[in-house]
Amino acid sequence: MEILKVKKIEDCLEGKNVWDLLLNKPITKGFIFHLGLLGKMIYQDFFPKPFFTLIVKGRFTIKGSESNQTIRLLLPDDSDAAKQIDDLKLYFKMYVE
pLDDT for residue 13 is more than 90: no
Burial call 61-81: b when 16+ CB within 10 Å, e when fewer: bbbbbbeeeebbbbbeeeeee
Q: How many domains does the chain have?
A: 1
pLDDT tens digits for range 16-70: 899 999 999 999 999 999 999 999 999 999 988 999 999 999 999 999 999 999 9
In the prediction, which pLDDT does 26 show? Answer: 97
In the prediction, which pLDDT does 5 show? Answer: 97
In the prediction, which pLDDT does 94 show? Answer: 92
Domain that holds residue 16: 3-93
Q: Is the Cβ–Cβ distance between 54 and 68 less than 8 Å?
A: no
Question: Cα dist. 30→8, 27, 34, 55, 92 in Å?
Answer: 27, 8, 6, 17, 12
State the average pLDDT over residues 6-21: 89
In the prediction, which pLDDT does 34 show? Answer: 95
In the prediction, which pLDDT does 40 show? Answer: 97
In the prediction, which pLDDT does 43 show? Answer: 96
